[in-house]
Amino acid sequence: MYAQMIQSEATTEDAEQLAAFQARIDAGERIEPKDWMPEGYRKTLIRQIGQHAHSEIVGQLPEGNWITRAPTLERKAILLAKVQDEAGHGLYLYCAAETLGISRDDLTEQLLSGRMKYSSIFNYPTLTWADVGAVGWLVDGAAIMNQVPLQRTSYGPYSRAMIRICKEESFHQRQGFDIMMKMAQGTEAQKRMAQDALNRFWYPSLMMFGPSDAESIHSTQNMAWRIKINSNDELRQKFVDQTVPQAEFLGLTIPDPNLRLNPETGHYDFSEPDWGEFFDVLRGNGPCNADRMEARQTAWSEGQWVRDGLMAHAAKKRARRVAAE
């Protein structure tokens, strides 16, 4: 997911207050920024929303990699609009996180120093134009699986951000699928690119949901708080069930010899991704971790004079206005 393996924070408030808070959540009420909330709830949400926001921002990079090489004017425009949407998603989410008492600059510093994470998926490279299709189809597709239920999350600003974001994400997924369709029905070279993209993005997409969390205490607490709605396995299964027929429609082969429809469950059986690789990526050893971090650090440090300049100008303007009054 865009927010992976979110550990819940311990909470030390008094039992009565906690029970009343839990009762509000159980009754389906929205928690708003001014409401009382347990410290653990607040901190966990900052981590989750922050990680989600960072993922939107870093997520600009793998697709942005192809904006200058988009093969038609229309494709270029669609891709630009998509990447622009992702930046917008980052902005809504940072705003939602700010209602919990942390600034966007703080969150950014934590991303750049490596203390906060972004989704593992954005540490994989986009090597051909078909990858742009695969990212929309699979990565946005997987993100939607998680984000649609989060529209009903207990924290008001997060829920409202999700509602806005989900509308755009389903657009992205359709556009990605449309690219894949053109490629899969195209020349031999295009077909090869499409299959290669699926081969490389299939397992990393499954990893987006995180390892099984059926036994996790963090997950139990986060579900009780309704900042997590479904288990990782549930979402992964839903994603596979949705995606397999789409791949068949495209005439592409999912790179899993064990994939088959289980007549008893009505769901697809599939192979687990290599969780060793997943943890390597989280530790910074994915194919693009260093490049992604470098790109964000460079953007931030080279942008320092711009941010300082604009702030200095705003301060001068304020001072001139006060002097004139």
Partner 1 sequence: MPDLFEWLCRMGDNTLVLGHRVSEWCGHAPVLEEDIALANTALDLIGQTQMWLGLAAEVQGEGRSADDLAFRRDAWDFRNCLLVELPNRDFGHTLMRQFLFDSWHKLMLTGLCESQDDRIAAIAMKSLKEVSYHQERSADTVIGLGDGTAESHDRMQAALDRLWPYMGELFQPDAVDDRMTRQGIAPDLAALRSGFDAIIADTIQEATLVLTDSRFAHRGGRDGSRHTEHLGHMLAVMQVLPRSYPDARW
Using CB under 5 A as the criterion, which residues of the chain lie in contact with Fe ion when the complex forms?
Answer: 56, 86, 89, 140, 169, 172
Q: Cβ closer to partner 1: 64 or 211?
A: 64
**Least distance to partner 1 from the beta carbon of 272, Å?**
32
Residue 29 interaction partner, one of partner 1, Fe ion, none, beta carbon < 5-8 Å per kind? none
* Residues from 60 through 79 that contact partner 1 (CB under 8 A): 60-61, 64, 67-77
189 binds partner 1 per the rule CB under 8 A: yes
**Least distance to Fe ion from the beta carbon of 54, Å?**
12
**Least distance to Fe ion from the beta carbon of 78, Å?**
12
What span, in angstroms and rounded, lies between the C-alpha atoms of 41 and 158? 13
**CB burial of residue 186 (10 Å; 0-12, 13-18, 19+):** middle
Residue 245 interaction partner, one of partner 1, Fe ion, none, beta carbon < 5-8 Å per kind? none
User: What is each CA distance from 35 to 50, 163, 262, in whole angstroms?
Assistant: 20, 21, 47
**Least distance to Fe ion from the beta carbon of 90, Å?**
8
318 binds partner 1 per the rule CB under 8 A: no
Residue 218 interaction partner, one of partner 1, Fe ion, none, beta carbon < 5-8 Å per kind? none
Residue 217 interaction partner, one of Fe ion, partner 1, none, beta carbon < 5-8 Å per kind? none
Any residues with CB less than 8 A from the CB of 151 and at least 6 apart, and which? 159, 162, 163, 166
**Least distance to partner 1 from the beta carbon of 82, Å?**
10
What span, in angstroms and rounded, lies between the C-alpha atoms of 107 and 90? 12
Among 10, 17, 39, 84, binds partner 1 (CB under 8 A): 84
Q: Cβ closer to Fe ion: 172 or 296?
A: 172
Of 104, 102, 146, 97, which Cα lies nearest the Cα of 121? 146
Contact (Cβ atoms closer than 8 angstroms) between residue 131 and residue 201: yes
Among 91, 223, 224, 259, binds partner 1 (CB under 8 A): 91
Side-chain-facing half-sphere of 231: CA atoms under 13 Å: 11
223 binds partner 1 per the rule CB under 8 A: no
* Residues from 30 through 49 that contact partner 1 (CB under 8 A): none
**Least distance to partner 1 from the beta carbon of 152, Å?**
27
Q: Cβ closer to partner 1: 57 or 227?
A: 57
16 binds partner 1 per the rule CB under 8 A: no
* Residues from 94 through 113 that contact partner 1 (CB under 8 A): 94, 104
17 binds partner 1 per the rule CB under 8 A: no
- Residue 105: phi and psi, rounded to 5, are -60, -40
Q: Cβ closer to partner 1: 149 or 186?
A: 186
Residue 285 interaction partner, one of partner 1, Fe ion, none, beta carbon < 5-8 Å per kind? none
What span, in angstroms and rounded, lies between the C-alpha atoms of 232 and 213? 6
Q: Is the dihedral of CA 23, 26, 32, 37 positive or negative?
A: positive
Residues at the contact surface with partner 1, assessed by CB under 8 A: 57, 60-61, 64, 67-77, 80-81, 83-84, 87-88, 90-91, 94, 104, 129, 179, 182, 186-187, 189-190, 295, 298-300, 302-314, 316
